[in-house]
Chains A and B, each alone.
Chain A
Amino acid sequence: MLKYTIRRMIYVLPTLWAVVTFVFFLIRIVPGGPAVAALGSYATAESIQQLEKQMGLDKPILVQYGKFLKDLCQGDLGKSLITNKPISQEIARSLPYTLDLAIGGMIIGILFGIPTGIITALRRNRPPDYIGRVLSLVGISMPEFYLGILLMYVLAIKLQLFPVLGGGDLSHLGSRLYHLFLPALTLGIIMTAFISRMVRSSMLNVLREDYVRTARSKGLHEKVVIYKHALRNALIPTVTVIGIYMSILMGGSVLTEIIFSRPGLGKMMVFAVKDRDYIALQSVIIIFSAFVFLFNLITDLLYSLIDPRIEYH
């Protein structure tokens, strides 16, 4: 198992390096360079030169790249072109809000998606299935920012059950959860739709398998057949896509954070785009993809844990 983990990580690292390199060079092709972009076209030549010198942007690009990689390995993401503060501090402050949101959304999605998937599969082509399928299609067709606005309008503005804006106080669990609920529900509803569709189709596939027929013909109780034989196998493909869904959730968190004014990574990224702070943008995007890699790695390992047929070498 340890060997397998290490092998997976050895595979992931070069890809992560390629992602980082891609983002670095893409940012450098901004017309005029990051400093010009940040200061605007009315900036004087001196102020641009000064900022470039201060940030090391005047050096040859390969020298910049070398320093960037070295700093990155030490956890230094550079300084913001606008505020001149270390970006890693800003990220450390924003990250918990985004992780709370993504994990909260995933938990809601799993809690509701798996039972819905099972019920619709077992009641196939009957009313519960139709209702479940239509609702899940509605869920995947709903942009998260629109669903967020609807929930906010009804639950926060009209019924005043939840706060309209803000991320709450992180050190205070009650406030943290209170502010998390609506945004997490927004992403959770969409996740429920994705997961229930996945569980339904893999459950239908499994129910046709020989081992399910065997279990039934042995005279096992239907409940045992469903939960012990069918469900366990149906969940395997579901686990494999949870990594992909986490990536959808991370993308969705950007828009959800803007709607609910949560001070997370997504909000930081959109502000970086607006302020044309390309160094901050570069860092946030790298962190985002690093998390996507991490979630995929965890999924891979989980997969090998629950499916003993996968071998570790």
Chain B
Amino acid sequence: MPISQREILIRTFKSNKTSVVGLFMAFSVVIIALISPWISPYDPISQDMNVQHAPPSWKYPFGTDSYGRDQLSRILWGSRVSLVVGTLSVLFAMAAGIPLGMIGGYKGGRVDNLVLRFIDIFMSFPIVILGLLVLAIMGPGLIKIVIAIGVALTPRIARLARGSTLSVKGKEYIEAARAVGQNDTKIMLIHVLPNISGDILVMGTLWVATAIIVEASLSFIGLGVRPPTPSWGAMIRDGLDQLTNAPWLSIFPGLAIFTSVFSFNLIADGLRDISDPKLRG
């Protein structure tokens, strides 16, 4: 019985242990973010000055912070900010970057030159610094962080989309579509986009990981969501002053960032092995 391309992909994915582990971990983080209001033992923002800097215990597994707030509850709630910013900013960057890269790669010539210049200009800013610049101008806020990181990721996704489009452009099916008189927009949407989406999906998971780190970095600097909304980066910053006497304040939120980023990187690693058959073991 012939097996479809899709089935081959699913089988390879299943046989790739790292990506299965990554998928499982990422799935857990998403579930935690969804159900955090019900599983948090305490209110993440209610203060209790009687239990400042309580070390980890059965009552407070991850200890309490300078305002006596339960760290575990804050970390569970904090997953929402990280995941929302991580995924939305990548979607934002894809919505802007894919058309840009595809048009540049497909049209070539002058248009492509313009696109390349745009990519060059924006790639000259490290992601964190471009994000910081945009946020410094717009001021803090969840949507603004999504825009800031999205803007910083756009040239990177545009570059990838352009490269993939170039490699697809010369294929026979594109020639065929052009020969039967389809217009450029249609060819890009029906023929180019589906064929470059694999590459972009792989990198997409990788960019979600990057976006989570950048969000944590920006909120570590103090440009994240407004307090008292818990976010992991800001929790680490608040804990930094207490590193000598209450190290758990920075260690646990950092572990949360690391775990989420690691899970997305695992998925991306596995997906890349699959999409590049030469590297299959």
**Pair A146/B254 contact, Cβ less than 8 Å:** yes
Q: CA A205 – CA B276 in complex, angstroms?
A: 11
* CB pair B236 A255 closer than 8 Å: no
Contact call B258/A143, Cβ cutoff below 8 A: yes
List the A side residues contacting B33 at CB < 8 Å.
none
Does A248 make an interface contact (CB < 8 A)? yes
Interface residue tally of chain B, by bracket? 35 or more
Contact A269 B132 (CB under 8 A): yes
Q: From DSSP, what is the main secondary structure of chain A's interface residues?
A: helix
Beta-carbon contact of A251 and B278 below 8 Å = no
CB <8 Å contact, A149 and B254: yes
* Chain B residue at minimum C-beta to C-beta distance from A142: B258
Taking CB atoms, residues of chain B closer than 8 Å to A252 are 126, 128
Q: Which of B49-57, B71-79, B97-105, B243-251 contacts A (4 or more CB under 8 A)?
A: B243-251
Asked whether B125 lies within 8 Å of A288 as measured between CB atoms, the reply is yes
Please report which residues of chain B, range 132-146, place their CB below 8 angstroms from some CB of chain A when the two chains form the complex.
132-134, 136-137
Q: Does B120 contact A (CB under 8 A)?
A: yes
Known: A19-B121, A143-B257, A145-B217. A125 touches B128 (CB 8 A): no
A138 to B71, CA, bound (A): 24
- Restricting to A250-295, which residues have a CB under 8 Å from any CB of B? 250-252, 254-255, 258-259, 269-270, 273-274, 278, 281, 285, 288-289, 292-293
Contact A273 B132 (CB under 8 A): yes
Bound-state CA distance A124–B280 (Å) is 11
In the assembly, what is the distance between CA of A296 and CA of B126, in Å?
Answer: 13
User: Contacts A146-B258, A204-B279; is A18 near B133 (CB within 8 Å)?
Assistant: no
Chain B residues, CB < 8 A from A138: 258, 262
Shortest CB-to-CB span from A294 to chain B, Å, is 10
Would A254 and B128 count as touching, CB distance under 8 A?
A: yes
B117 within 8 A of partner (CB): yes
Judge if B95 is at the interface, Cβ distance under 8 Å: no
Q: In the complex, which residues of chain A have a beta carbon less than 8 angstroms from the beta carbon of B183?
A: none
Chain B residues within 8 Å of A29, by CB: 137
User: Is A186 an interface position by the 8 A CB rule?
Assistant: no
CB neighbours (8 Å) of B117 from chain A are 15, 18
Q: Which of B39-47, B170-178, B218-226 contacts A (4 or more CB under 8 A)?
A: B218-226
Q: Whose C-beta in chain B lies nearest to the C-beta of A259? A: B240
A250: chain B residues at CB < 8 Å are 126, 129
- Give every chain B residue within 8 A of A149 (Cβ-Cβ): 236, 240, 243, 250-251, 254
Which one of A30, A140, A146, A157 contacts B137 once the chains associate, using CB atoms below 8 Å?
A30
**Is the beta-carbon distance between A293 and B124 smaller than 8 angstroms?**
yes
Judge whether A208 is part of the interface by a CB distance below 8 angstroms.
Answer: yes
Question: Hey, which chain A residues are within 8 Å of B261, CB to CB?
Answer: 141-143
CA distance A243 to B244 in the complex (A): 37
Contacts of B247 in A (CB 8 A): 153
Residues of B near A15 (CB, < 8 A) are: 117, 120-121, 124
B128 with A251: CB separation less than 8 A: yes
User: For the complex, what is the distance from the CA of A116 to the CA of B164, rounded to whole Å?
Assistant: 30
B124 partner residues in chain A, CB cutoff 8 A: 15-16, 19, 247, 289, 292-293, 296
Taking A15-B117, A140-B265, A153-B247 as contacts, is the C-beta distance between A208 and B221 under 8 angstroms?
A: no
Asked if A27 is at the interface of the complex by the 8 Å CB criterion, the answer is: yes
A299 touches B (CB below 8 Å): no
Q: In the bound complex, what is the Cα–Cα distance between A152 and B120 (angstroms)?
A: 36
Cβ contacts under 8 Å, B269 to chain A? 133, 137
Q: Which residues of B contact A (CB under 8 A)?
A: 117, 120-121, 123-129, 132-134, 136-137, 209, 213, 216-217, 220-223, 236, 240, 243-244, 247, 250-251, 254, 257-258, 261-262, 265-266, 269, 278-279, 281
A-B contacts besides A138-B262, A281-B133, 5 pairs, CB < 8 Å? A157-B244, A247-B124, A254-B126, A270-B221, A285-B125
- A to B CB contacts below 8 Å, 12 in the list: A140-B265, A149-B236, A149-B254, A153-B247, A157-B244, A250-B129, A254-B132, A258-B221, A259-B240, A269-B129, A273-B222, A288-B129
